[in-house]
Amino acid sequence: MTKFSLITNTLRAAGLTLALGTALFAAPAFADAASDAARALLPAKIRDAGALNVGASTVYAPHSFFKEGTTDFTGYEIDLFNEVSAILGLKPNYTEAPFQQLIAGVKSGRSDVSLGDLGDNDLRRQEVDFIDHTRLTFQLLIDDAEKDNIKTVFDLCGRDLGIVQGTTNIIFKALAQCETKGLKPANFIEFPDATAKDQAIQSGRLPRADISATAVGRYREAAGLNPGQILIPAPELGDLYIGFIVDKGNTELANAIEAALKILFENGRYAEILATYNISDLNLDAPGVNIGQNASNWVQPKPKS
């Protein structure tokens, strides 16, 4: 059985169904004044083309990933963006992109939009604009045998921890307090992507103690991908807003996407999609362009060289 079969079968057994986001793009999804107003905000070039080039990472399920056995994109961010595109009367043309290249994709013009677990923070905002739609919260993923030894984030002080190049340095901010608490500092080991980090943990090169975004952790737990490990709350890590990105100053496109998202918030589809992926508690009250400063992790430490 493939890993993708395992994921699908386990989720079905748990009563979770993944929406595939196969919206019909031949006509706008909603023929009303709000949809017309959202489409009117689009840059004329994109509206005339009738399509959007979208860069998407595929390593952070359930944000965006490949449907089992195919190269068809699925995930909750894909579902949201498919419906946004339908409202705007556009066809999204998805291309897989490494997480580290999502920002470069919109800046170079290869992509009109990028998505896939992108947290809105002060460093990234210097380069791109965010259309924020949900929150990231965080948990600790530990060996079940260590549940009496690791009860808070600060129990990770003095340990080796894997981090992924280009990701938000949430753990740096929290564990910078280790020494002031009289504890040994953590030792951070950088990996090119999440897969390489996971392999290091599975092989024993790193201890099986990690930080997990709540959505990703729940997905992997439901799919049985972390045997012998448990998730525990990590409120010390705060939260971060997550969104679709466009090139800095691409205001027309950002505003059009925001307007389409507002329709999904108001008609109930936003809540339905989040509920499908067991992430209803990661909702925002309303979407917004560049509102990430409302989250606790808006200000980020600079990446270590």
Average pLDDT over every residue of 149-177 = 84
Hey, what are 44's tokens?
């004329």
Q: Which of these ranges, 11-25, 158-172, 216-230, has the smallest mean pLDDT?
A: 11-25
Segments making up each domain of the chain, as ranges: 3-135+240-294, 137-237
304 band by pLDDT with thresholds 50, 70 and 90: low
- pLDDT of 302 reads 66
CATH of domain 137-237: 3.40.190.10
**Alpha-carbon distances, residue 32 vs 36, 41, 265, 267 (angstroms):** 6, 15, 15, 12
- pLDDT of 258 reads 98
- Long-range pairs of 186-189 with CB within 8 A, sequence gap ≥ 24: 186/156, 186/157, 186/158, 186/159, 186/160, 186/161, 187/159, 187/160, 187/161, 188/161, 188/162, 188/163, 188/304, 189/160, 189/161, 189/162, 189/163
The answer to whether 3-135+240-294 and 137-237 have equal CATH topology is yes
Rg (CA), the chain: 19
- pLDDT of 138 reads 93
pLDDT (tens digit per residue) in 201-240: 888 888 777 888 999 999 999 999 889 999 998 998 999 9
pTM for this model (two decimals):
0.82
- Tokens 């291309």 correspond to 95
- pLDDT of 195 reads 84
**Which amino acid is residue 27, in one-letter code?**
A
CB 21 within 8 A of CB 79: yes
Higher model confidence: residue 24 or residue 105? Answer: 105
- pLDDT of 27 reads 40
pLDDT (tens digit per residue) in 100-131: 999 999 999 999 999 999 999 999 999 999 99
Average pLDDT over every residue of 27-32 = 52
CATH of domain 3-135+240-294: 3.40.190.10
- pLDDT of 168 reads 61
Most confident option among 67-81, 140-154, 171-185: 67-81
